[in-house]
Every structure is written in structure tokens, then in C-alpha cells.
């Protein structure tokens, strides 16, 4: 680490740190945070010319305490005349975010697309953002320092994304993530290596589950939002032994084979597995069949497509490119335990009745009652965001109610709200992108610092079968009804 001062216009920024193990583009991202001058507009004067984004610090010759000079203009919001039209660029940045209809992108800090795409997907969960807003700045005694720092950094990054129309450089978050989980700081030839987005997703959720838990209030926010309770029957055909176990996981696995063409088939495979363990009655190891069923549902159901596997002959991670279709609306009733199915019957019947009424009203053209029934259906569908303002209002209500509200019951039906894709042949290379449904119902592709509007019909085309982006993680939101 080097410490320098930077002069820009009439300001001097003291003690700016340079991580010499990283390319100068990262240093420019830091200066962007300080000055508002985008990296591409920055001209940093050095002996022999300007500092290039990919220069080698060892040959640049910057010394400890050196004073650098930067030129470049910051983004400014032009003030509108007292009278006349108001342009979006003239609005405060928070209002610009609302007008644009989506939040900011994230700069790639050097093979950090796996991290950026994970953040964009989780950032789309309003209940998680609400829990982080209430997270205290003071560290709790029952929590380690790095977990606290990562949770606080997640909160700050989410806030920054919400109030910015310009792309954000997630410097602080990335530094803390590497401190908490050193594997994300692996280097190859002086450059940070590409990492697995699913591992980043899992590790971040694990940290948040530790931080956002309140034993005194019997509250576990992360488990409520993402936790899936599985009950499993473990049976040995050879000895006849049988046992059961309950576990909580944060995602369902979609296993991919020659027989799997659709998510439903892959999930069915993922809930069955074989394991070898000691058999007390046989006095030796035996093969057991483990069959699992969902016993408790989350607000947000995460599905991972198991596309990567270890190829022994080449000693590297390989990718299954097979096309596996997934729906915009997922019904997981078939995968539930008998106890859970009984609990789902009443809310599912109400949902069916409301859908039937709506179809009947349209067929009979009874316009007088259509408004009331539209409202009921919006309530039934939770925040599936198909009805503009009414749907958004319901989304706000569901934020307040949370999954513990007894008046709100899950139906086992989920709507797709985010897809994390991978493009490339190997987990150690390629590119990750997030595709996120906004509160207004529109889809945005977050390709690092480049948010691009997309059509809903194009989202299900990310199912694989070639070298295009293919779904690696899908996140679905529960459709709830008021009882």
C-alpha cells in the first residue's frame, strides 16, 4: 500500500491509499468516489505522461507521500430555469433514480462480475434492505468483527445503489468480502481470479444470517426470507434401516442429466440422493437413499442449476451446457411434505376461486364488479407486479407484514424476480450477469456498470444450450394471499 495526496481543481485529497497489487483503474474508482469524476474522464499527470488504466505500478514510479495532479470534470446536475420544462437531469439524484425506473450498475473491479451480479440480485429483495437499514452500526458481542463489517458494508452498498443513477464502485464491500472470505482474494499473475457466483451468494447469505438474527426476539430474518426447511427419509434397502432428519437450506438444487429438460425434472432429481455410511445392523458401510420433501417455505425461493462439475481427466471444472427450461411462474406443491400440502390447501383454493371469478367476470362482461375483483386478485398475488400501482402498493404492504403475518399465507406458487447467468465454458472464467425484475414490472440486465432494459419474454431464453448467457441461479418470490 502507498499513500499519496491528489490535487484536483482547488481541492487536495490527503492520504489516498493505492493498492499496488491492483491495476490503476481501481485507484481511479477511488478518486471517482471522492470527486465525482468518472474514471474515463480522469487525467492523472505523471512523469512521462498520463496514468493508464492497466499500467504496472512497479514501472510507474509513484512514491510514498507523492503529490499527484488530476484533471477532469465531475458529473453535474444542471439547474433548470425558474420557468420552463423540468428535465430528468435537473432533478436531485434520488428523484432521477425513480424516473429512470432502476437502480445503478456496479463497476467491475477486475474479475468481480460474480460479486456484482450476486449483489444486484439480493439488492432486489426489499425486505432484506429493510432489515439492513435497521442493522446497528455498533458491533454485537456475539458476532465476529469481519461478519459485522461485511454486513455494514452490504448495507452501505445497497443504500448507495438506491440513491445513485451513476454506476457505483463497490470498493469497501469488496475489500471486506476478501477479508472475511480470503478465497475471493486469490491472485493469478498479479490479477484477481474469477470466482464462483454461487459461492459468493452462499457465503454472503450465511454472514447475513449470523448478523440479522435476534435470539432475544426469536427473529431470524435471513431464514424467514430464504430458508427452506427440508424433511428427509433415509432408507437402506439392504438392511431395511430407516431414519428421518430435518435441515434448513438456502437453495434447491436443479440437477442436470440427459433426462432433464425442465426445471421441475431437475428439482425432482435434486431432492433424491445416495450416500454411503456405516450401517449398525450390517456392521459395515452400506448405501442409503435419501429422499427429501419441503416442509416450510421461504418468501424467496432460490434455485441453483448444478452446471459445474470436476472433470478428473483434465483436472479442471467443466460446465454442463445442456438447455434446461424454467418458468416465470413456479408451483412447488409436488415437492412439499404431506403436512405442508395440508397447510397450502386453503390458500390455494382461495387463489383458484379468485382466478375463476376473474375469468368468469370477463366472460360475462360484468364490468360493475370488475374493480373489486381486481383488487382481490392483487391481494392474492402479493407483489407479482403485473398491475402497476396496485401491485406496488401490495408490495409495500408485504414488506411491512413479512412472512410472520398470520393474515398472509403462502400458496406454494412463486414468480420469477431475478436470474443470475454465466456465459463461458468454465467456472474459472467467463462472465456473470444479473437480470432483475424491478418494482414497476420491467426487467433490467445488470452487466456490471451497464444496466440494459429487457423484455420479459427474453428472460426465459437464458436456459442454456449454447455459448450465450445461461441461468445459473434463479430467484422466485412467493405469491401470498390474505386469509
3-state secondary structure 11-65: EEEEEEEECCCCCHHHHHHHHHHHHCCCHHHCEEEECCEECCCCCCHHHHCCCCC
pLDDT in tens, 304-347: 999 988 777 767 777 889 999 999 999 999 999 999 999 999 99
Strand 67-71 relative to strand 2-8, pairing: parallel
- Looking at residue 81, its pLDDT comes to 52
Phi, psi of 184 (to 5 degrees): -75, -5
In the prediction, which pLDDT does 76 show?
59
Residue 81 CA to residue 90 CA, distance in Å, equals: 10
- The number of CA neighbours under 13 Å toward the Cβ of 417 is 28
Q: Which 3 state secondary structure label does DSSP give 266? A: helix
- Interval 381-390 mean pLDDT: 39
Residues annotated as catalytic (active site), given as ranges? 113, 431
Q: What is the pLDDT of residue 375?
A: 36
Q: Using a pLDDT cut of 90, give the percent of the chain over it.
A: 56
Q: What is the pLDDT of residues 57-111, one digit of tens each?
A: 888 888 999 999 999 988 655 555 555 555 545 555 555 555 556 789 999 998 9
CA distance 38 to 31: 8
Asked whether the predicted pLDDT for residue 292 surpasses 80, the reply is: yes
**SS3 of residue 205 by DSSP:** helix
pLDDT of residue 214: 81
**Does 365 score more than 60 pLDDT?**
no
Q: How far apart are CA 396 and CA 128, in angstroms?
A: 13
The partner residues of 234 in beta bridges, in order of sequence, read 243, 290
Which residue stretches of 283-369 are H helix? 338-364
* Least confident window among 87-101, 342-356, 411-425: 87-101
Taking only the tens place, the pLDDT of each residue in 138-177 is: 877 888 999 999 999 999 999 999 988 889 999 999 999 9
Helices (H) and strands (E) in the chain, counts: 14, 23
Instruction: State the Cα–Cα distance between residues 260 and 323, nearest whole angstrom.
Output: 9
Phi-psi region of 412 (alpha: psi -120 to 50; beta: other; left: phi over 0): left
Please state which of the ranges 6-10, 31-35, 47-51, 397-401 shows the lowest mean pLDDT.
Answer: 397-401
Q: According to the model, what pLDDT value does residue 91 have?
A: 55
3-class DSSP state of 192: strand
pLDDT number for residue 391? 36
CB atoms within 10 A of CB 25: 20
Q: What tens digit of pLDDT does each residue of 122-131 get?
A: 999 999 999 9
What is residue 413's predicted lDDT score, i.e. its pLDDT? 96
User: In this predicted structure, what is the pLDDT of residue 317?
Assistant: 75
Q: How much is the pLDDT for 49?
A: 83
Q: In this predicted structure, what is the pLDDT of residue 361?
A: 54
First to last CA, the chain: 59
Chain-wide mean pLDDT for the chain? 84
The pLDDT of residue 98: 53
The answer to whether the beta carbons of residues 159 and 134 sit under 8 Å apart is: no
Apex CA 43: angle with CA 41 and CA 45, to 5°?
175
- Between CA 222 and CA 232 the distance in angstroms is 22
CA distance 185 to 182: 5
Do the Cβ atoms of 402 and 84 come closer than 8 Å?
Answer: no
Residue 424 has pLDDT above 50, yes or no: yes
Label residue 66 exposed, middle or buried (CB < 10 Å: 0-12, 13-18, 19+).
Answer: middle
Question: What is the spatial distance between Cα 3 and Cα 66, in angstroms, rounded to a whole number?
Answer: 8
Q: What is the pLDDT of residues 14-65, one digit of tens each?
A: 999 998 888 888 899 889 888 888 888 899 988 778 898 888 888 888 899 9
| Length of the chain, in residues | 483
pLDDT interval class at 189 (50, 70, 90): confident
Amino acid at each position: 500500500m502507498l499513500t499519496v495526496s491528489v490535487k484536483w481543481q482547488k481541492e487536495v485529497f490527503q492520504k489516498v491509499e493505492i493498492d499496488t497489487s491492483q491495476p490503476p483503474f481501481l485507484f481511479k474508482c477511488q478518486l471517482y468516489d471522492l470527486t465525482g469524476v468518472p474514471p474515463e474522464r480522469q487525467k492523472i499527470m505523471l512523469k512521462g505522461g498520463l496514468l493508464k488504466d492497466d499500467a504496472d505500478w512497479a514501472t510507474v514510479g509513484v512514491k510514498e507521500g507523492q503529490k499527484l495532479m488530476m484533471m477532469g470534470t465531475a458529473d453535474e446536475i444542471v439547474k433548470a430555469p425558474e420557468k420552463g420544462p423540468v428535465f430528468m437531469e435537473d432533478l436531485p439524484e434520488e428523484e432521477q433514480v425513480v424516473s429512470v425506473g432502476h437502480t445503478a450498475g456496479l463497476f467491475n473491479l477486475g474479475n468481480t462480475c460474480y460479486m456484482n451480479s450476486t449483489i444486484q440480485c439480493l439488492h432486489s429483495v426489499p425486505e432484506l434492505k429493510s432489515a439492513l437499514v435497521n442493522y446497528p452500526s455498533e458491533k454485537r458481542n456475539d458476532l465476529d468483527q469481519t461478519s459485522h463489517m461485511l454486513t455494514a458494508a452490504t448495507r452501505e452498498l445497497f443504500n448507495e445503489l438506491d440513491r445513485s443513477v451513476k454506476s457505483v464502485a463497490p470498493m469497501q464491500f469488496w475489500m471486506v468480502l476478501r477479508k472475511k472470505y480470503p478465497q475471493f482474494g486469490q491472485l493469478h499473475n498479479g490479477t484477481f481470479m474469477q470466482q464462483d457466483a454461487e459461492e459468493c451468494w452462499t457465503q454472503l447469505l450465511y454472514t447475513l444470517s449470523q448478523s440479522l438474527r435476534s435470539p432475544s426476539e426469536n427473529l431470524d430474518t435471513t431464514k424467514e426470507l430464504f430458508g427452506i426447511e427440508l424433511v428427509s427419509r433415509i432408507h437402506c434397502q439392504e438392511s431395511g434401516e430407516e431414519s428421518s432428519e430435518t435441515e434448513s437450506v438456502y437453495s434447491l438444487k436443479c440437477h442436470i442429466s440427459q433426462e432433464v429438460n425442465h426445471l421441475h425434472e431437475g428439482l425432482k432429481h435434486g431432492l433424491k440422493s445416495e450416500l454411503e455410511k456405516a450401517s449398525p445392523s450390517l456392521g459395515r458401510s452400506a448405501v442409503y437413499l435419501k429422499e427429501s420433501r419441503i416442509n416450510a417455505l421461504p418468501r424467496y425461493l432460490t434455485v441453483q442449476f448444478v452446471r459445474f462439475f470436476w472433470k478428473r481427466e483434465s483436472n479442471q471444472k467443466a460446465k454442463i451446457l445442456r438447455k434446461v427450461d424454467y418458468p416465470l411462474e413456479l408451483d412447488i406443491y409436488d415437492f412439499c411434505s404431506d403436512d405442508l400440502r395440508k397447510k397450502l390447501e386453503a390458500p390455494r383454493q382461495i387463489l383458484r376461486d379468485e382466478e375463476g371469478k376473474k375469468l368468469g367476470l370477463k366472460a360475462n362482461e360484468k364490468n360493475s364488479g370488475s374493480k373489486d375483483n381486481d383488487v382481490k386478485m392483487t391481494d392474492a398475488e402479493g407483489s407479482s407486479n403485473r398491475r402497476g400501482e396496485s401491485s406496488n402498493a401490495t408490495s409495500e404492504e408485504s414488506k411491512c407484514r413479512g412472512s410472520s403475518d398470520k393474515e398472509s399465507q403462502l400458496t406454494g406458487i412463486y414468480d420469477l424476480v431475478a436470474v443470475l447467468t454465466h456465459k463461458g465454458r468454465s467456472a474459472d472464467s467467463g462472465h456473470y450477469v444479473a437480470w432483475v425484475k424491478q418494482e414497476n414490472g420491467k426487467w433490467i440486465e445488470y452487466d456490471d456498470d451497464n444496466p440494459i432494459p429487457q423484455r420479459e419474454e427474453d428472460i426465459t431464453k437464458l436456459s442454456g444450450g449454447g455459448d450465450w448467457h445461461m441461468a445459473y441461479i434463479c430467484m422466485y418470490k412467493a405469491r401470498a394471499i390474505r386469509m
